[in-house]
Amino acid sequence: IVKTQFIAVGTKIVSVMRVLVKKSRSSFKSLFSGAKSRSEIVATFLALLELMRSGRVEVRDTEEEYNPEIRLIRNKKEREETP
C-alpha cells in the first residue's frame, strides 16, 4: 500500500514567505526544487496562488523561459509602484 503524505497549504505559505523574506525574490522553479512529493508540489503551487491573490507576492516574467520571478510585496506602496 502506498501512503500519501498530507501537506497543508498553510505550511507551504509560511515556507514560501520565509524564502521571500530572506531573499526578497526567488525564481519559480527554485520554490519547487526541494519538493519530495507530488503533494508537496501541489501545496506549494496553491500557496503561491493564495499569496498572489492576497497581494503579498507578484510574479514577473524573466528572460528564462518558464521560470518567472516571484517577488515579495512588503507594503501597500510597493504594490502601487508595480507596473
Q: Kindly state the average pLDDT of the residues 53-78.
A: 89
Residue 82's pLDDT band, with cuts at 50, 70 and 90, is: low
Rounded CA separation 82/54 (Å): 15
Q: What is the side-by-side order of every strand in the sheet holding 57-60?
A: 25-27, 69-72, 57-60
Around 24, how many Cα atoms within 13 Å sit in the side-chain half-sphere?
Answer: 3
- Of the CA atoms within 13 Å of residue 39, those in its CB half-sphere come to 8
The one-letter amino acid code at 71 reads R
**37: DSSP letter:** S
Q: Report the predicted TM-score, pTM, of the whole model to 2 decimal places.
A: 0.84
